[in-house]
Structure 1
Amino acid sequence: MNDPTRGGPAPAVDPWVLSTDDLLRPFGHRDPHLTALVGYHPAFTGNGLFAVRVPAAGNGFAETPVRTQFHVAGFYTGREGTWSRKASLPAWSTLDVSDGSGSFNAAFTRPPGAHEAATDEAERLVGGDWAPVTSPGVGAARGIERYRQCLDLRTGAIVTEARWTSPAGRVTDVRYEVFTDRSRPSVGVVSVTVTPHWAGELVVTDALDERGALRTRTVERGAGHGRNWTVVEAEGSGVQAALVCVLHGPGHDEPVPARDGTATQTISVRTFPGRPLTFTKYVSVVTSHTADRPLSTARAHADEAARDGHVRLAEDNRRSWRREWEGDIVVSGNPQLQRRVRASKFYLLTSVREDSPWSPSPCGLSSDGYNGHVFWDTETWIWPGLLAQHPHIARSVLDYRAARLDAARAAAAAAGHRGARFPWESGLTGAEDTPEWAPFGRLEQHVSADVALAFWQYWLATGDRGWLRMTGLPVLSAIADFWASRVTTDPEGRCHINGVIPPDEYAVGPHDDSVYTNVAARETLRFAARAAEALGESADPRWAETADRIVVPFDEVQGIHPEFAGYEGRMIKQADVVMLVHPWENPQSPEVTRADLEYYAPRTHEDGPSMTDSVHSIVLAELGHAEAAFEYTRRSVDPFVRPPFEQFAEARTGGAFTFLTGHGGLLQEFLHGYSGLRWRADRVVLAPILPGPLDGITLRRLRWRDRVFDVDIRHDGTTVRLHAGEPLPVETAGTLRHVPTGGQVTVATRTPTPHR
């Protein structure tokens, strides 16, 4: 039996590879190769600019069990009606193989006239209601054996292998590989190697399948001269995306375009038993955001990729990912949790990249979940997991908000306020994209403070004065101006923020004096003043004056912060008041922090989103309750992860998928919870603690103001190693020490205390 305190089943041979087999080890199914697809959620990979969901077949488009979608950053519809939405590209990964009697991809679809099996539901292949594989002849008729699909977190490559028996009885071994090249932002690769155990003719079909497209119209499509292409335009916005594919195969056969004008081409080759054949499809995706002539640019990129070839592209992609993986999080003593932490980091990186002025939605580039809009999820949950080890990427994410500052100014002005108010839901332009029926766009105004916190944290972590002058201070001061004009002053001179919705979305209100909103507004005003001071500029005196007079509600009898004025203890959806401690670092005693947590944790909906549990874990770690923190770590991940590729769903029962907000919350538990890592302008603060079930946590290649360092947390001490940069000032337990360049310092790991 597996020891639940040690993370469940044994790890895969390669701990960096996630596969369908991982799901099945504990269950003892008779045929793991087919039953691996029970509960299947499709693999997902991306290079930060465009991405692909890969279905069970390893290529192409599938509607079930989760629709495969194909997204590129910034591809939004217009705002005709009330809001914009993310548009999806045609399915560009299709590279099907056929022996004339049927195709490999068809083996993964519902057969005509098939009915749901009643004898053993666990033996059905998700994606079609197949008869049980144990029924005589039925499993063989569909023809899939020795199935395995793997995702290599080191490179983002997804490999699918199977033995396929066609309807004619011919047996072929098939191996697909799909990856998007992180070194070439617009390039992806699909490769299939087939090893027939028969002689005859094999047909390979390369298609741009428009069934995958959503909210687009086709501008142009065609095929010829070894290429096929499609240009689509997002509805109402005029944003175009061009997709071009170049197909290479064995021999001298030239791909033949389809006669119906579709973006399809085929290669026919003669097969011999046991002789493998490899076909490679080089794909380029280019939008009108980056090129005046997307189609010609995509054609050039696809042609260049084909000239460079599969081997070079794979190595360049591996090299680029290796750079990102220098910033690793190593969890010792729990292989399952290690995989999930690395998977979380991988999924964040699939949807962001350096020099891309786009910000990830809660589902990143995996789908059009949440309409592809940007929420506070980015700055509060996703972005901190990037800043600690990837400030070059974190800056690009902030560029999205900075580029839409004028839209935020217009929103504030429209409501009669100064400064800038960022939207609750943001898409293409930065105008409010919340559906009209939802009150959050008008009332959940704390999002502007959440944006400000990210900008302030970037300054603390990087010390980039040029960025602060040109980008950071303009955004911070505009948000501070908004809050200074947004408050209402009572006869005693106290400032209130009335008529808002707090982070707890069950409290639709509107309500007055949300404690989260008020504290966040207060701190934003102070951030702006400190940023001006850091640049030697004069701060608007209204910022400090308003900050000092903002009301922070507190119940002296119960010793807690009420969620808002008049709060009476009803159930809440998600973390709210407890977030005063993290990420806002509100100055308050441990007794108040503990009281807030003990009051609100049992009042939080048990089916709420995972990031609530991640905050509870971080707060408990700060209080020194490592074992309780670890229980919340389990709660924040175990019910939400979907097999077989360790992807978060929004809720225990389903919801948005792949949910980067949950992944980001899990990463913060290690980056900022068990380490106690906090940014300061003149030092790094650490308060390490380690729960008993873990042997250690190592944070590799953290970055602070041109320093590169590791933090290795063990039960008998924590070691800080400085790899590059000037000596690193580190504060632990009120003591300041300096780590020498190329050297290390060992500090005490806090002793856990019981949580009553």
Structure 2
Amino acid sequence: MNSFIRHLPRALALSLLLVATRVGAATDPSFVLTGTSDQFDGYFPSYLANGYFSTMTSVRGTGPTMGYMVATMDYAKDDIARPAALPGWNEIDYNPGGGWLNSTRVAKEIFTHYAQTLDMYGATLNTTYRFVYANKSTDVEVTTFVSQDANHLAATRLTITPQFDGSVELTFPIRLWSEHQPRFPIAKMTGDEMIAAVIASGQNLDNKPVPTPDRAAVWYPGVVRIQSTGGDTKTLTLWLDGRAEQGVAVAQAVAVELPKGLDVEDVQLEQTPYKLSLNLKAKVRKGQSYRFTKYIAASREGWGSDAKADRVLAEQARTTGFDTLLARHQAAWHTLWESDIRVAGDANVQKAVHSDLYYLLSNTTTGTSWPMGACALTPGYAGHAFWDSDSWVFPALLLLHPERAKPIVMFRHRTLGPAQARAAQFGAKGAMYPWEADPETGKDFTPHFAYEVYREIHVNADIAIAQWQYYNATGDDAWLKQYGWPVIEQIATFWASRVSYDKAHDRYEIHHVTSPDEAYNDVPNDSFTNAAAQKALRIAVKAAAKVGAKADPQWSVIADKMTIPFDETAQRHLDFDASVPHDKITWMGSSLAWLMYPNLDLPMSPQVRRNDFDFQLHELKEHGDDPNEMMMVMLAVGSAELGDAQGAGDWIRRNLSGFLKPPFNVRTETVANNAGYILATSAGFVQSFVYGLSGLRIDENGLAQAYPPALPQAWTSLELKGVHFRGKRYDITIDHGADGKARLARKEL
């Protein structure tokens, strides 16, 4: 169809493309998530985003919601860096004469025939209902998207069909949010002080009923200080310039399009400290449909320009028209979906895969050096970059969308300077990346109450592993020399300065670390940390040879003599040094399963692997509490590595129960809490397929088969579509052979 469309006149081609988009989404239910009025009380918002900026969804589709822009951080005094909420651009409000739509309580008898559909194939939200209030009714349809084709643009279209004749009012505002209160000096507060302050503010940090955020007391948004605003009732435009608190400049503009032939009675400009709006009065007729469209342009310092330029973009968008912009946006998403994961045999798993890929792709940029915040373009985990970016999100994207994985490794190169300064601060050499990095500056903004996590230094090995993975997946020698090698070399230098030599046992150790099972703080020889450091050092030796540099001879010596605690009697690894009791209740129970995770994949015998896995299951039962979704991923991967396809499928299905909040499959950190939008959990689920069931690993020899593929018996096939590797593309299919065993086939495209 695409080649046929290219020969048609542009307008007709775009019309056909729009029709094809709607048909494609309608015929594949795995791309469609729909909310109903039954979910009004437990509505867990999703978001629309293009990697650069976002907006949260709302039940009505028209309500004011906060949105965020990539690495646009607030730096208030004594606080940690946190995402500054963009002025709310998505709102349109409507008053048929008895009350405003967005102020009316959400109830089934008021919002009848309700449906809100997220079409993930085209990243478009559509909301329909009949608004019945004050003896009047209006059919409402709202369609909103944040453009994947034109990254500075978004649009929302409100279609009303009044069931009466008369005058109505509409407003097209930009909400100028006030600063969140209370704000706490989190950069200085201890854990006890933080808890006391939260309680004193009338809040708590307990798990809460859906959909109330659990950690809003500490993960509140930052503020954009408005510097200038303006509007024009003749051109139906609004614009503003602002600046995130002590951060980057931000600009927005709006252009409104009215229905042709609308009988307009009055248009007013409203400017207050909290609202910039075009307010309209018009006459409508019963049964006639009216389409009102709001075009938004947004930018920030270093990405775009000012309000004047954004106003031009918004007006150009209005000239182009909603249907054309929507078709281009959806076509861009269709191109993204050419790389996909297809599961035949389990519709629920397939839909979850698509929702997780949707959330990952919604938060990726190309050609930048911005990472993805831990909780996407939301204020969760304060928008900071953790090891999640390098070890969970990056590998999930690398084979399917390498251009969207690349900014993560580029971020670590861009922020190498702050990591070197931090190493010096802690008396180490090389580069010591922070546990929580500001996505704009790369500086350490770990909250003071979590300061002990500075010992969770495995992040430095995780970063080196990701850099090497990118090189092995792309074969880009020039990139390695200019960008990857400086990071890898400085991380190896860090580890060489951080280890201790145990002369009595002729081995190297790493003391005073926080385990990935974070309740175990300040332990010696955490197995995960030591194994990751060992791998990072060996990577540095290989990378040096590739770029023609001289490796420090000590790197190999340390790697070869690195101790990884092991119980000879039980023939399994220990979580950390045997001198530390393993007896705490944690969400992981143990971190042994993480020795199998795809990035690390610590070599071990099949029997040791089995023993590690069995111990993990035992400890999860005995010492586990409300396990994180990451653990479900590791158990799925571990089962696949052990050849237990049914077990892997069971853990994958466990990952659907409770973690996915309706109606839009928003993943939360655990089943019990509402810490949502965590990209590591979505990425982990994707890794269960890309690396877990496939048995594939990225190394210097290629895309290697580390162990036989695994496919649950009830599934017909698993297909990794459009895999990118070293300049070529493949479809990789796993199905059942005549002997019943899973088999993997690669087809070059």
Normalization by structure 2: what TM-score?
0.85
Change (3 A) 1:256 1:162: same
Give the counterpart of 2:236 among 216, 220, 226. 226
One-letter amino acid of the counterpart of residue 223, structure 1: G
Q: Does the 8 Å CA contact 1:77/1:87 hold for their aligned counterparts?
A: yes
1:704 match: 725
Partner of 1:285: 298
Alpha-carbon contact 1:150-1:158 (below 8 Å) kept? yes
Post-superposition Cα deviations, 1:437-489, rounded to whole Å, max 9, x if no partner, equal 21344211111111111111111111111110110001000100000010111
Work out the CA distance in 1 between the residues paired with 2:524 and 2:408. 32
Deviation at 1:97, TM superposition (A): 1.5
Q: Determine whether 1:46 maps to 2:49.
A: yes
Determine whether 1:713 maps to 2:734: yes
**TM alignment of 1:157-176, pairs within 5 A:** 157-167=124-134, 169-176=135-142
After superposition, residues 266-285 of structure 1 pair within 5 angstroms as: 266-285=279-298
1:240 corresponds to: 249
Shift of 1:315: 1.3
Alignment correspondent of 1:250: 259
Write the distance in 2 (CA, Å) between the matches of 1:315 and 1:255: 30
CA offsets, 1:257-276, max 9 Å, x none?
12657410023332111111
* Matching residue within 546, 556, 576 for 2:591: 576
Alpha-carbon displacement from aligned partner over 1:147-195 (angstroms, at most 9, x marks no partner):
000000011100000001232x121100001100001111111111111
Please state whether the residue corresponding to 2:42 is helix, strand or coil.
coil
Distance 1:100 1:390 in 2: 50
- Over residues 204-235 of structure 1, what are the superposed CA-to-partner deviations in whole Å (9 max), with x where a residue is unaligned? 21011134874222222232231112333222
- CA offset digits 1:558-596 (Å, max 9, x no partner): 212111112433244336222222231211101111111
One-letter identity of the residue aligned with 1:434: T
Are positions 1:57 and 2:71 aligned together?
no
CA contact (8 A) 1:506 1:572 kept: yes
Letter of the aligned partner of 1:374 in structure 2? Answer: A
Whether 2:602 is the aligned partner of 1:586: answer yes
Task: Give 1:623 shift.
Answer: 0.8
1:597 to 613, 624, 627: 613
CA–CA distance in 2 between the matches of 1:555 and 1:257?
74
- Contact 1:648 1:657 (C-alpha < 8 Å) held by counterparts: yes
Q: How far is 1:416 from its partner?
A: 1.2
- Tell me, yes or no, if structure 1 residue 498 matches structure 2 residue 511: yes
CA distance in 2: counterparts of 1:80 and 1:522, whole angstroms: 39
CA distance in 1, matches of 2:56, 2:461: 34
* Aligned mate of 1:355, from 346, 367, 386: 367
Aligned counterparts of 2:468 and 2:55: Cα–Cα separation in 1? 33
Report if aligned partners of 1:610, 1:637 keep a CA contact under 8 Å in 2.
Answer: no
CA distance in 2, matches of 1:606, 1:238: 39
Letter matched to residue 621 of structure 1: A
- Which runs of structure 2 are paired with 1:139-218 in the superposition (5 Å)? 139=109, 143-167=110-134, 169-211=135-177, 214-216=221-223, 217-218=225-226
Identity %: 30
Corresponding residue SS for 1:359: coil
CA distance in 1, matches of 2:44, 2:420: 41
**1:629 is aligned to 2:632:** no
2:446 maps to 434
**SS of alignment partner, residue 238 of structure 2:** strand
- Contact 2:370 2:411 (C-alpha < 8 Å) held by counterparts: yes
User: Which residue in the other structure is 2:547 paired with?
Assistant: 535
Shift of 1:668: 0.5
Shift in alpha-carbon separation, 1:618–1:433, aligned structure 2, 3 A: same
Amino acid at match of 1:227: T
Change (3 A) 1:494 1:350: same
RMSD over aligned Cα atoms: 1.9
Q: Distance in 1 between matches of 2:348 and 2:468?
A: 35
Written as runs of structure 1 = structure 2, the 5 A alignment for 1:289-300 is: 289-291=302-304, 293-300=305-312
Tell me how far 1:79 sits from its aligned partner. 6.1
Q: Residue by residue, what CA displacement relative to the aligned partner does 1:79-117 show, whole Å, maximum 9, x if unpaired?
A: 6315211111122110111113212222246xxxxxxxx
Q: Which residue is 1:751 aligned to? A: none
Task: State the alpha-carbon separation in 2 of the partners of residues 693 and 211 from structure 1.
Answer: 51
Alignment partners' CA distance in 2, 1:193 and 1:719: 49
Q: Kindly provide the CA deviation profile for residues 311-354 of structure 1, in whole angstroms up to 9, marking residues without a partner as x.
A: 12111111211121011100111111111110000001111121
User: Offset of 1:629 from its aligned partner?
Assistant: 1.3
Does residue 73 of structure 1 match 2:70? Answer: yes
Distance across 2 between alignment mates of 1:98 and 1:286: 31
Look up the match of 1:464. 476
Partners of 2:33 and 2:117 within 8 A in 1: yes
Match runs of 1:229-628 below 5 Å: 229-235=239-245, 237-251=246-260, 253=264, 255-258=267-270, 260=272, 262-291=275-304, 293-365=305-377, 367-427=378-438, 428-492=440-504, 493-508=506-521, 510-565=522-577, 566-570=579-583, 571-574=585-588, 576-583=591-598, 584-604=600-620, 605-628=624-647
Residue in structure 1 matched with residue 666 of structure 2 by the alignment: 647
Cα distance, 1:16 vs structure 2 = 4.1
Please point out which of 716, 722, 737 is paired with 2:747.
722
Q: Which amino acid aligns with 1:633?
A: I
Q: When the two structures are aligned, how many residues end up with a matched partner? A: 662
Q: TM-score with structure 1 length normalisation?
A: 0.85
Q: Quick one: distance in 2 between partners of 1:407 and 1:160? A: 45
- Structure-2 residue corresponding to 1:747: none
Equivalent AA in structure 2 for residue 164 of structure 1? F
Distance in 2, matches of 1:212 and 1:223, equals 20
Matches within 5 A, 1:101-116: 101-108=98-105
SS at match of 1:91: coil
CA contact (8 A) 2:30 2:350 kept: no
Q: Is the 1:145–1:164 Cα contact (8 Å) retained in structure 2?
A: yes
The runs of at least 4 consecutive aligned structure 1 residues that moved more than 4 Å come to: 252-255
Q: CA deviation at 1:627?
A: 0.9
Partner of 1:20: 34
Change (3 A) 1:695 1:525: same
For the Cα contact (< 8 Å) 2:343–2:715, is it kept in 1? Answer: yes
Query: Structure 2 vs 1, CA of residues 321 and 448 (structure 1 numbering), >3 Å: closer, same or farther?
Result: same
In 1, Cα distance between equivalents of 2:149 and 2:541: 40
CA deviation string 1:360-418 (max 9, x = no partner): 122101x2011111111111222211101100111122211111000000000111111
Q: Distance in 1 between matches of 2:533 and 2:651?
A: 29
For 2:592, the aligned partner's letter is: V
Deviation at 1:682, TM superposition (A): 2.8
Q: What amino acid is aligned across from residue 449 of structure 1 in structure 2?
A: A
Give yes or no for contact 1:183–1:317 (8 Å, CA) kept in 2. Answer: yes
Q: Contact 1:95 / 1:205 at 8 angstroms: preserved in 2?
A: yes
CA distance in 2, matches of 1:569, 1:441: 19
> What is the rounded CA distance, in whole Å, between the counterparts of 1:559 and 1:721 in structure 2?
37
**Amino acid in the other structure paired with 2:227:** V
Q: Is the 8 A contact 2:121 2:337 kept in 1?
A: yes
Q: Is contact 2:694-2:744 (8 Å) kept?
A: no
Specify the SS of the correspondent of 2:321: helix
Could you tell me how far apart the structure 2 residues matched to 1:380 and 1:259 are? 46
3-state DSSP of counterpart to 2:62:
coil
Query: Which residue type is aligned with residue 44 of structure 1?
Result: Y
CA–CA distance in structure 2, aligned partners of residues 444 and 378 of structure 1: 15
What are the superposed Cα offsets for residues 499-545 of structure 1, whole Å, 9 maximum, x if unpaired? 0001111112x011111111100110111110111223322212112
